[in-house]
Amino acid sequence: MNLTSFQPTLANYYVVTLVLIGSGVLISCVLYPLLIAYLKSRAVGQNIREDGPSSHLAKANTPTMGGIVFIFVSAYLAILACKVLDVDLLFLPWMLTLGALCGLIGFIDDFAKVLNKSNKGISGYVRLLIEGIIGLFAAYYTTKTWNHTFDELLKSFTGFNFEISLPGSSQNRIPIVTYIYSAFMMAACCNSLNIHDGMDGLAAGTSALSFMTMAFIFLMFGEIELAIICASITGALLGFLLFNCHKAKIFMGDTGSLFIGGMFGLIIISYQFNIMLIALLLIPALETLSVILQVLYFKATKKLDNSDLKPESIYFKLPDSFKAAYLFIYKQIHKIPGEGKRLFKMAPIHHHFEMVLSPKLNEWQVVSLFWICQLVICTGVLIFFNFSIGAIHVMKLN
């Protein structure tokens, strides 16, 4: 079915974007009450970390797996819009398939946690492996779509050719950096969003702003299919946010956070490996970094006597200037008894701010501060891409 009266102008596509966002909110308002009632009847609730903020213990048994609905709403609206507007499909089929696969991993993880009545689901290493493999598929489809690779982008800056030729053929080359970059990006995006999702409305709000920003960027560059995908996800997330704001009636669970992270990764990889879009993930990236630093610092500050080291240890043969570095690495690798110090009151860092700013600011106000920071980042990225369009136009005129 085609809209014969539809004129493919930028103004009309802005209207389409707003319609998709509004439709996502409306459909979510119908589906979420049904899902919440069903999950409550089945006692499918969130298990809260015992070492988390004490204020979060009251959230125990809140329905989880809310990502199921916004995965469905995102896919439905994107497919419908592309079909109605007769948009050529280059990204939608494989992006939704791989994104839904990320959501499926999260769903299995959530289901395992509910069955075990704990916060332990799929092994982290298994998740990383699967996410990396999904990244490899994304790299394959992207190189087919654009007919160029991340290796070529690096070559234009460095002058080095990173591609590997297959034996007996000078034509077929493997873009090794492209596949490594894509596997890492998928795993990084999925896990950073998973870590970022820890307060009512936090991940849904910042992600909605990011996807809305990407929708407008893609409209500016004429990438209508990618704009539709991002607008559909924005609407679905805003609809979810109505039920996830403090006090949350439902959580997205790993089902939702891995889907959001997966779609972030897929879009960053798919849009000609555009690194600037990574800036939209600055807050989740800092959240992940806070966890890494917390663990490293905690282990490094554990007390270790020289008597704990074996007499034949290389430590005693090293110059004094290298001994501190050796002990740091030793403590990271080995399980040292006792307690270390903490760099933050709690990690991820959103919990640190929550504890430091309490009771002057409540959870909802802390989340709002994160939203404001994300809005500033999104505005900066939009301005950058707007200037990019101007620079491209000037180059064409010259």
Mean pLDDT for 197-219 is: 95
Co-location of 318 and 249 in the same domain: no
**In one letter, which amino acid is 287?**
E
Co-location of 68 and 146 in the same domain: yes
What is the pLDDT at residue 54?
A: 61
Asked whether residue 367 is domain-assigned, the answer is yes
Q: 108: pLDDT confidence band, cut at 50, 70 and 90?
A: very high
Q: 395: pLDDT confidence band, cut at 50, 70 and 90?
A: very low
Burial 245-257 (b: 16+ CB within 10 A, else e): ebebbbbbbbbbb
Co-location of 290 and 312 in the same domain: no
Mean pLDDT for 251-278 is: 90
What is the pLDDT at residue 389?
A: 65
**In one letter, which amino acid is 107?**
F
**In one letter, which amino acid is 31?**
L
Co-location of 229 and 319 in the same domain: no
Co-location of 203 and 287 in the same domain: yes
What is the pLDDT at residue 153?
A: 72
Q: At what angle do helices 349-357 and 282-300 cross, to 10 degrees?
A: 80
What is the pLDDT at residue 394?
A: 40
Dihedral sign for Cα atoms in the order 360, 364, 369, 372 = negative
For residue 32, pLDDT over 80 is answered with yes
Cβ 234 vs Cβ 21: under 8 Å: yes
pLDDT digits (tens, 9 = 90+) for 145-164: 877 777 777 777 777 777 77
**In one letter, which amino acid is 130?**
I
Co-location of 171 and 239 in the same domain: yes
Q: 392: pLDDT confidence band, cut at 50, 70 and 90?
A: very low
**In one letter, which amino acid is 372?**
I
Mean pLDDT for 106-127 is: 84
Residue where one domain finishes, among candidates 333, 355, 389: 333
Cβ 203 vs Cβ 197: under 8 Å: yes
Nearest to 256 by CA among 242, 277, 278, 241: 241
pLDDT digits (tens, 9 = 90+) for 2-21: 455 677 788 889 999 999 99
Co-location of 198 and 316 in the same domain: no
Asked whether residue 1 is domain-assigned, the answer is no
Cβ 85 vs Cβ 94: under 8 Å: no
Asked whether residue 247 is domain-assigned, the answer is yes
Asked whether residue 340 is domain-assigned, the answer is no
> Helix or strand or coil: residue 311?
coil
Q: What is the average pLDDT value for the chain, to the nearest integer?
A: 87
> Which structural domain range is residue 322 located in?
302-333
Q: 188: pLDDT confidence band, cut at 50, 70 and 90?
A: very high
